[in-house]
Amino acid sequence: MSKDILVFVEQRDGVIQSVGYELCGAARELASKVEGAKVVAAVIGDTASKLAEELKDSGADVVCYVEHKCLKHYLNETYTDAFAQIVKEVEPNVVLIGASSIGRDLAPRLSARINTGLTADCTKLEINEEGQLFSTRPAFGGNLFATIICPDHRPQMSTVRPGVMKRAEKGQENVEIREVKVKFATPKVEVLEYVKAKQEVGKIEDAKALVAVGRGCGCDESLAVANELASLLGGTTATSRSLVDEGKMPSSKQVGQTGKTVRPDLYLAFGISGAVQHIAGMEDSDYIIAVNKDKTASIFNVADLGIVGDGNAIMPLVVEEIKKLKK
């Protein structure tokens, strides 16, 4: 068993997903605390050799890939076979997988295949000098955090939420690229057709500016103004759990432990009190502006600029001022 940290780098339609780069950055940081540990990135697909070249700048020391025509689209069975073979050859101490729809499907099957534990949906990773991983995730509906260890089995496995970790600032020198050969059995499932879902517009994870509204600004008029403000800023809208529960905003817009983790350049929070579950999903934003009528609201503890006032009244004024500046 090596000290290495293995990262599953997700790709879709030949495009590496952001969470893969984020996990390579996290693995780089973890590896720096364990003497002799390397970061190994693994990519699987029908054009994996090309993608392996792109991963030279990911922060990985080694890039492993499995390339086969049967890996063009994700299928649990074939991807588990491929990744399990990589795990067998690398013998890592830690395996990291993005908590995307693919990662959440692949990780439990892999953990069962290699007989080890799995900590899912993590928001924080730490490691000691001996290589013991400490995986932190929300528990009991996001009301507390649990830090979980896997003392008896290796490798230690965790899935990590997209948007939580930071990419490595630069790549490593002399990155080794290694092909892993896998013998695939005939899949038990035959895929007849793939139908792509309609692409979601304005994904909050990718936005540079977010206008987030909470219960205090949840009326239809304020939601319309929030959309206009977000458009002026070149971003999109987001929300807290309360408006999702009321059916006024879709769950894809929810920020927080039970929603999505974001780190935009600008985060505008109108009428959001700042429950710990919400703050956990946005506190790493570069600049946070909070507007709330309650001067004791917790959101002000993480805000770079706080305004005590009615967000329903202040938001239209911000829109007007931005329009003046754009003339």
Mean pLDDT over residues 151-172, rounded?
Answer: 87
Mean pLDDT over residues 286-313, rounded?
Answer: 93
User: One fold for both 5-179 and 209-326?
Assistant: yes
Single out the residue of 276, 278, 281, 270 nearest to residue 306, CA to CA: 270
At 205-244, the pLDDT tens digits run 888 999 999 988 888 888 999 999 999 999 999 999 889 8
At 173-209, the pLDDT tens digits run 888 999 999 888 777 887 888 887 765 556 888 889 9
The whole-chain average pLDDT of the chain stands at 89
One-letter amino acid at 276 equals V
CB 201: neighbour CB atoms within 10 A? 6
pLDDT of residue 199: 59
Pick one of 3.40.50.970, 3.40.50.620, 1.10.3720.10, 3.20.20.190 as the CATH number of 5-179.
Answer: 3.40.50.620
Mean pLDDT over residues 113-126, rounded?
Answer: 91
pLDDT of residue 39: 93
pLDDT of residue 215: 87
Q: CA-to-CA distance for 227 and 25, rounded, in angstroms?
A: 33
Whether the pLDDT of residue 308 is over 70: the answer is: yes
Mean pLDDT over residues 261-281, rounded?
Answer: 90
Q: CA-to-CA distance for 318 and 306, rounded, in angstroms?
A: 14
Q: By percentage, how much of the chain surpasses pLDDT 70?
A: 97
pLDDT of residue 310: 92
Q: Which residue has the higher pLDDT, 97 or 200?
A: 97
DSSP per-residue string spanning 168-236: PSSPPSS-EEEE----PPPPSS------PPPPPSS-TTT-SEEEEE-GGG-SHHHHHHHHHHHHHTT-E
Whether the pLDDT of residue 125 is over 70: the answer is: yes
Contact of 64 with 86, CB cutoff 8 Å: yes
Q: What's the distance, CA 306 to chain centroid?
A: 27
pLDDT of residue 41: 94
Q: What is the CATH number of domain 209-326?
A: 3.40.50.1220
Whether the pLDDT of residue 303 is over 80: the answer is: yes
Distances (CA, A) of 91 to 3, 37, 105, 117, 315: 8, 12, 22, 15, 54
pLDDT of residue 200: 58
Phi first, then psi, for residue 121 (nearest 5°) are 60, 45
Q: What angle is formed at CA 321 by the lines to CA 324 and CA 274, rounded to 5 degrees?
A: 155
Query: What residue spans define the domains of the chain?
Result: 5-179, 209-326
Q: DSSP H helical segments within 37-100, as ranges?
A: 48-54, 76-90
Whether the pLDDT of residue 118 is over 90: the answer is: yes
Strand 94-98 relative to strand 156-160, pairing? parallel
Which pLDDT band, with edges at 50, 70 and 90, does 141 fall under?
low
Q: CA-to-CA distance for 55 and 24, rounded, in angstroms?
A: 9
pLDDT of residue 322: 92
pLDDT of residue 143: 67
Which pLDDT band, with edges at 50, 70 and 90, does 98 fall under?
very high
One-letter amino acid at 267 equals Y
pLDDT of residue 62: 92
DSSP per-residue string spanning 249-274: S-GGGBBSTTSB----SEEEEES---
Strand 144-148 relative to strand 133-139, pairing? antiparallel
